[in-house]
Amino acid sequence: MLKNCLFVSLLLIVAISTAQQEEYIFGQLVDATQNEPVAFASIRLKDNALGLISNSDGTFKIPLRYKSLGEVIEISSKGFETKEILIDEFLEGRSNIVVLKPSAFELSEAIVSAKIKRMSARQIVKIAVNSIPANYPQNTFSLAGYYRDFQVKNTKYFNVNEAILQVYDKGFVEPDNLENEYQLFSYRKNLEFGNDSLAKQPYDYRGNNKVIPGAKMENTGGNELYMLYIHDAIRNYQTDTYSYINNMPSDYVNDHRFRLIGKTNYHNTVVYEIDSYYSNKDYFSNGKIFIDTNNFAILKLDYAVFKRKKTDLSFTIANPEERFSDGFKISKKELIYHIKSEYSKTDSGKMFLNYISFYNKALVQRPAEFKSIFVLDLRAKVFAIRLNKTPVNVEKISKKDFTIRYEEKLLPIKKIAFLKSRNVFMVTPDFREIPTRSTLEYLFTKNDSLKIFNLSYSYRNIKDSLGDKLDDSKREYVHQYREFFTQEVFPNISITPTRDSLMMKNLPLESSEQPICYACNTSNYWMNTPLQNIDE
């Protein structure tokens, strides 16, 4: 059985191109007891600063060139025994399944040591937050690694953007990382996963073309990397980061309820595992924080916010089943956003970002499938409504199904007629009504000063053969992910590239105006592209 194996190799179950097979070794981490993928595990070359993080489905890839060097791969994850594997054991052209065994150190809540019980969960968290200046770098440092943002619908990836980049941070002496600088080494829009221009547009709360249901996201010009980084609550612990955590010493420590689960093994470190809770009349949050028992450094913060009340769905949702989902799995709770950040200690003794992942759900407005064009026919003195499809049950549609206003004044309708050959409704206004006669005469007289935007119209009872209402633009849930995985840490760095070589934070990464350092040496870094699903 799989759970009794330590290391096995299976044929690929995902699509991998021939070129990819020649360049990388592919693998997947699996829990020995649950037979489930192990996500966000640390995979590093032993005695080397280079490494990566497994994907949400446990998959990973390592450049084939490291196999010739006889490197040892070290794999560690919370709650599992650290595993070392000779890279020569990995097979080429196959998906290597690595099975991780649960750590024997796991303790139940019933046998938490007396020392832990002398401190409450809140006291431990408070000490950890107050210890951030001592445990994290105060001087300028840099991280190099792999970044990606993507969207998911029906478990399928699309709008996948990938980059290798370097981050320049002035250190935790600064209250936040809003002034971070970024240098792009390489970027690609991965069109193999599909593209959707409407779904990737910046958030728009004025026109409601793209919004987060139940929350508001600032428009950063579509730069998802910048949006990801400013949501690191550990790095920005002194400032408002995101709702309910905000300022960690006050909002997080004082406003949340904490429950100490016990001690556990986290990347060969003994840590406190603590649950956090927050709720009000509209929202609630669940989270976990892992704190080093020795120096109270925070290794990981996992924080999710859910909507308590039902979202106003007065509009039509094209895929309502995605409301209680994160794109991959179904939930009974309506998740709004989920942020995970993990730090690890380097030889310098300080904690540096290992990875950060930021998820949120979005509603995107789609154009109507059954639509109309509204025209003033001055010669015939009628309102002409041209349709792109033939409506059903035309004989049941009457003048009562049309509403036309000018400057909020309701215009009377005398009769309607449908010209099937042209797919046009001819709506004849009633000029006999004295209160609106002058308005109608004004509308149907050639006049350059006519303010057409003051003319509004609506209908009811007009549908096509698929049941779509006329001019009914549906909204669709999409799931947005942004993730950065550190592959190399530079604990002390004093040189920042010239301004003209740095990423423009107000433009998306795909912008042609973004500078890319093609001459920079990126041979040590690689893109851990998620593997595509195959339709059965």
Grade residue 10 by pLDDT with cuts at 50, 70 and 90.
Answer: very low
Grade residue 155 by pLDDT with cuts at 50, 70 and 90.
Answer: confident
The confidence score (pLDDT) of residue 4 equals 34
pLDDT digits (tens, 9 = 90+) for 376-395: 999 899 999 999 999 999 99
Grade residue 429 by pLDDT with cuts at 50, 70 and 90.
Answer: very high
Token digits of residue 9: 């190799």
CA angle 160, 475, 424 (to 5 degrees): 120
13/402: higher pLDDT: 402
Token digits of residue 66: 């490291």
The confidence score (pLDDT) of residue 72 equals 84
pLDDT digits (tens, 9 = 90+) for 246-261: 999 999 999 999 999 9
pTM, to two decimals = 0.80
Number of CB atoms found within 10 A of residue 402's CB:
20
The confidence score (pLDDT) of residue 207 equals 78
Grade residue 236 by pLDDT with cuts at 50, 70 and 90.
Answer: very high
The confidence score (pLDDT) of residue 533 equals 53
DSSP designation for 101: P
CA gap 348, 63 in Å, rounded: 27
Amino acid identity of residue 72, one-letter, is: V
Number of CB atoms found within 10 A of residue 470's CB:
23
pLDDT digits (tens, 9 = 90+) for 438-469: 999 989 988 765 556 788 899 998 999 988 88
β-sheet with 424-429: strand ranges across:
372-377, 382-387, 424-429, 413-419
**Comparing C-alpha atoms, which of 323, 326, 245, 250 is closest to residue 288?**
245
**Comparing C-alpha atoms, which of 337, 351, 252, 302 is closest to residue 78?**
302
pLDDT digits (tens, 9 = 90+) for 204-219: 888 788 889 888 887 7
Query: Cβ neighbours of residue 100 under 8 Å, at least 6 residues apart?
Result: 29, 30, 31, 32, 38, 41, 75, 77, 80, 81, 83
pLDDT digits (tens, 9 = 90+) for 303-354: 999 998 765 556 678 888 899 999 988 888 999 999 999 999 888 889 999 9
The confidence score (pLDDT) of residue 6 equals 36
CA gap 235, 180 in Å, rounded: 11
Q: Tell me the CB-side half-sphere exposure of residue 422, using CA atoms within 13 A.
A: 10
Average of pLDDT values for 36-51?
A: 78
Looking at the domain 2-100, which fold is it?
Answer: Immunoglobulin-like (2.60.40)
- The full set of domain ranges for the chain reads 2-100, 120-238+295-367+476-501, 386-459
Amino acid identity of residue 527, one-letter, is: M
Instruction: Please tell me whether residue 21 adopts helix, strand or coil conformation.
Output: helix
Grade residue 357 by pLDDT with cuts at 50, 70 and 90.
Answer: very high
The confidence score (pLDDT) of residue 353 equals 95
Percent of the chain with pLDDT over 70: 88
Average of pLDDT values for 64-80?
A: 78
Percent of the chain with pLDDT over 90: 52
CA gap 288, 153 in Å, rounded: 27
CA gap 99, 4 in Å, rounded: 9
494/368: higher pLDDT: 368
Using a 10 angstrom Cβ sphere, with 0-12 exposed, 13-18 middle and 19 or more buried, the burial of residue 451 is exposed
Compute the CA torsion angle 152, 158, 159, 161 (nearest 10 deg).
90
The confidence score (pLDDT) of residue 20 equals 45
Q: Can you spell out the DSSP letters for 303-349?
A: EEEEESSPP---SPBS-GGGGGB-SSSB-SSEEEEEEEEEEEE-TTS
CA gap 415, 398 in Å, rounded: 8
